Amino acid sequence: MKKLLNLLLPNHPHFLDQPLNEDSPSGNGQLIASDVTIFPNANHVQQSHIPYPGPPPGDRNGRPHARIVCEVGNIQSTKEWNNKCQLWMNQIYIRYVLGIKLHKKRNRKNTLGQYHRSMMARLWQQGAGYQEFETIIRKKQTPTNCNAPNLPQYQVIIPIAQVFWDPVLPLPPADGYVPTVPIPLATATAPVNFIIDLYRVQQLVLNKQDNT
């Protein structure tokens, strides 16, 4: 998973790629974990209140709450994957949810001997959009144009400032709060966005899947 994260977020801040239990936004008392959790360093945000909840909330170990999570659906059905991604958005501290759904391998292979596979990326930001980045469109035999890195139409962009979203709650709807990168980190050469190249994700999946 760390290799996947490095491809997804090559300029990542604090992250964990092992299970990080958070209280479920459903309020049922259950603990759930995302595949990738991205959260700010505690030096740059308010201290989480213990016991949970806050505000600001944290995880069960007192770390700052996740701001960005990634859910990779491989075995789960599309509905199960979609529901879990949407569930995370019920927590106001989570600004973005990146969902990647890997569908079953196709029967055809490409010129490198890899099975074609349908894949979809969806980015929730208190709203949703999606992008297909497979080699062949799902339920069709039509190739996609996701065939090289650095194609703008096959990139997911998340502002780095959202990692530091940390208002005093409750936040009035018209408050006008805008998150900013802390001054020690906001240098002239610092990147502004996470740029997730879906072609690189596609190629990692094709290389790691069983192509025998």
- pLDDT tens sequence across 114-128: 999 999 999 998 655
Q: What is the pTM of this model?
A: 0.79
More confident residue, 31 or 4: 31
Give the mean pLDDT of 141-155. 89
Question: The sheet that has 68-73: what strands, in order across it?
Answer: 15-16, 36-38, 68-73, 96-109, 115-124, 128-132
Give the mean pLDDT of 141-156. 89
Give the mean pLDDT of 50-64. 62
